[in-house]
Structure 1
Amino acid sequence: MNLKSFLKTWEGTQAENRWARLFIAALLVIVFVLGSLLFRKETIVTIQPFTLTDEAWVTQENASTGYKESWGFALAQLLGNVTPASVDFIKQRIERLLSPAIYSDVINVLEVQARQIKRDGVTIRFEPRFVEYEPKSNKVFVYGYSYTRGVTNGIEKRDERTYEFKIQIANYLPVINYVDTYSDRPRTERVLERMRKIEERRSENEN
């Protein structure tokens, strides 16, 4: 049978309409599925942090290593460079990023340190040496040298300094869940495990 002639008949027209409805229904299903996938797909924002040479990305609830390292570096610079004139400004900037779980503890420590710095006229500056993100602990370690100068004698004291941060992403914004600083090299999981083994061997030898 000639298809062209068949389509000109009433039966051909009905058959063509049935197939057209099937194709339209299939296209609607495809559009619905694609729309659902697009709606559920998490938006990824690519950025160029000022402290990095490579691109980083951030989503609504997560971020790349580079993004977290960039924030860790910026926070260490903020907390590590303090003068009596800037201490209140630093406190105001950092408190906006703190999670409710640690807000009170961190603010109390900052207020105590602020009073001491103002009273003693101490100036602190920080020279970073490296930044490292540890996926296992979700910590950013910023290591460098801290220099403290008192107003009385003007002598500058240098020591090793590490800043630790846990940075969570909430609605594309960084939230600090943990912060610590100490005069030592970074206490990563690798370093802590090595220290535990040393302590275990020491205990065995003493016994």
Structure 2
Amino acid sequence: MKAGNFKKTFNGLYSENTYLKWLVIVLGFVVLLMTWKVLSKDTIVTIVPPTLAEQGWVDRQKASESYMESWALYVAYLLGNANPKNGNLIKTALTPLLDKNIAADILAAVDDQINQIRRDGVRISFEAKSILQDKRSPSKYYVFGDSSVTGNAENKITSKRTYEMELEIRNYQPVLTSIKTYAGQPKTPEALEREKRMSDRKQEMRKKQGIEQ
């Protein structure tokens, strides 16, 4: 073999070896970066909510709307169907969901409601008709439906009722941070704004009528 050809072949092999070394280093860096991304990314769990017929998901700090609606519906049914027989069961089911800042007040309110039902000798029930998410405060949900009170004489009174609550996801778990219930339609920001406009118009009409008189 001629010395010139050998030198060319050796130089070619050396250059190729250097290129392969850098390629291995770059690939190793890419693998490390991808591994870090995989390990640092929150796990997403795909589930089917118990009270809705569509698929949902939850990760460490957030969840799909269907999943959150499922829990809102669950809480409304628990509170709307409380009675002396299932009171302790409802409190046991609610306790893991309650934020520590409201837990004592909510559980005391459940006790008060059950004691009132026992004193009045009635049965209450709640049937949800719709679930709304507050578009301005996505963690707030409104469960609206029919609330019924049945007395000993089996006379039944049905009225419209809303359960308004705020739900968050903390470390994959739903947490109830506030809840209140009231008669009538959901008091969404849009509904409150409509009421205010109507109230303002009525006041203006009264003022005009007073001036004309």
TM over 0.5: yes
Q: Does 1:70 align with 2:80?
A: no
| Residue of structure 1 in register with 2:20 after alignment | 20
CA contact (8 A) 1:51 1:73 kept: yes
Give the CA deviation at 1:75: 1.2
Cα deviation, 1:158-192, whole Å, max 9, x if unaligned, reads: 11111111110011110001111111111112111
Cα deviation, 1:66-96, whole Å, max 9, x if unaligned, reads: 1111111111111111222112211221122
Could you tell me which runs of 5 or more consecutive residues in structure 2 were left unpaired when the two chains were aligned: 208-213
What amino acid is the match of 2:189? Answer: E
Give the CA deviation at 1:112: 1.5
Q: Closer, same or farther in 2 for the Cα pair 1:6/1:112, shift >3 Å? A: farther
Give the CA deviation at 1:122: 2.5
SS where residue 52 of structure 2 aligns? coil
> C-alpha root-mean-square deviation of aligned residues, in Å?
2.0
| Residue of structure 1 in register with 2:211 after alignment | none
| Residue of structure 1 in register with 2:186 after alignment | 186
TM-score by structure 1 length?
A: 0.88
SS where residue 136 of structure 1 aligns? coil
CA contact (8 A) 2:60 2:171 kept: yes
Give the CA deviation at 1:22: 0.4
Q: Separation in 2 of the partners of 1:182 and 1:193?
A: 18
What amino acid is the match of 1:23? Answer: L
| Residue of structure 1 in register with 2:154 after alignment | 154
Q: Closer, same or farther in 2 for the Cα pair 1:95/1:6, shift >3 Å? A: farther
What amino acid is the match of 2:199? Answer: E
Q: Does 1:81 align with 2:84?
A: no
TM-score by structure 2 length?
A: 0.86
How many residues of Structure 1 are paired with residues of Structure 2 in the alignment?
202
CA contact (8 A) 1:88 1:114 kept: no
